[in-house]
Amino acid sequence: MTLPLSHYLPIATTLLSIIFAWTIYQRYLLRGRSGNHLLWWTGGVLVYGMGTFAESYITLLGQNPVIFKFWYIVGALMGGAPLAQGTVWLLLKERTARRLTWALVTAITIPAVLVMLSPLNAEVLELALPTGRALGWQWIRYLSPFINTYAVTFLIGGAILSAVRFNRAAKGGGQGADLARDRFFGNVFIAVGATLPGIGGMASRLGYTELLYIGEFFGIILIWLGYWFNIRRRAGNRAAPAAG
């Protein structure tokens, strides 16, 4: 059976995620302990890539119980939460970030264990595209929106808040205006890029998983573009701090 081109997008998304994660990790090595947010972003992009890797595997080789549960945990369950935790470490006090880290790890671990223990619907598992409907314990799916809400609040909300702040700084003029404008555009790209997989995820729940693949592909591109704007330096202009 010939699959639509969109079904192969997760392969490209996985490769982009690996390169992007390595780029962020290299910056973390330069920053050390002051770059804890970069370590979380590295892990977040890798989780992003692991989710699309599972989708790639399913596209090429078909589904099986192990790969499906792996996909559900790293893709449908964790999603953008590790990336959001990077924003938590960047914007909030260390004590608050640590507490939220423990809360997030707990909130992910419990549903993940339940997913591993859940029986599967063999008929749904035979479909070419992964869907949460394959879980035998469907009530587990009601747990993921809490994690997704956390991700939206801090990843998208944090990017929007930063964009507003940098936009004000850019309009104020002065030596740091150009850098602030870069940070503004960077956070706008991140906010939009982080939104696309969420839209695709909602479409996937309705049976349109292809839109999830498209959203993930363009989402990682926009997030990477936003990251580049946030770390960009302009010669002779250092008044505005880099977000990364």
Which architecture, in CATH terms, is 5-231? Up-down Bundle (1.20)
pLDDT, position 79: 83
- Which range in 3-7, 102-106, 121-125 is most confidently predicted, on average pLDDT? 102-106
Q: What confidence tens digit (pLDDT) does each residue in 174-199 have?
A: 767 888 889 999 999 999 999 998 88
Q: What confidence tens digit (pLDDT) does each residue in 51-109 have?
A: 999 988 887 788 888 988 998 899 888 888 999 999 999 889 999 999 999 999 999 99
pTM of the model: 0.86
- Single out the residue of 79, 83, 76 nearest to residue 24, CA to CA: 83
pLDDT, position 48: 93
More confident position, 241 or 18: 18
pLDDT, position 238: 46
SS3 of residue 237 by DSSP: strand
Single-letter code of the amino acid located at 72:
Y
Number of residues that make up the chain: 244
Q: Is the pLDDT of residue 236 over 60?
A: no
pLDDT, position 234: 55
Residue 197: is it exposed, middle or buried by C-beta count within 10 angstroms (0-12/13-18/19+)?
Answer: buried
SS3 of residue 234 by DSSP: strand
SS3 of residue 197 by DSSP: helix
- How confident is the prediction for the chain on average, in pLDDT? 85
Average pLDDT score over residue span 228-244: 62
* CA distance linking residue 9 with residue 54, whole number of Å: 12
pLDDT, position 1: 53
pLDDT, position 3: 65
C-alpha torsion angle, residues 71, 130, 218, 158 (rounded to 10):
-50
Q: Is the pLDDT of residue 239 over 60?
A: no
Neighbours of 93 (CB within 10 A): 10
Q: Is the pLDDT of residue 241 over 60?
A: no
pLDDT category of residue 143 using cuts at 50, 70 and 90 = confident
pLDDT category of residue 242 using cuts at 50, 70 and 90 = very low
More confident position, 27 or 126: 27
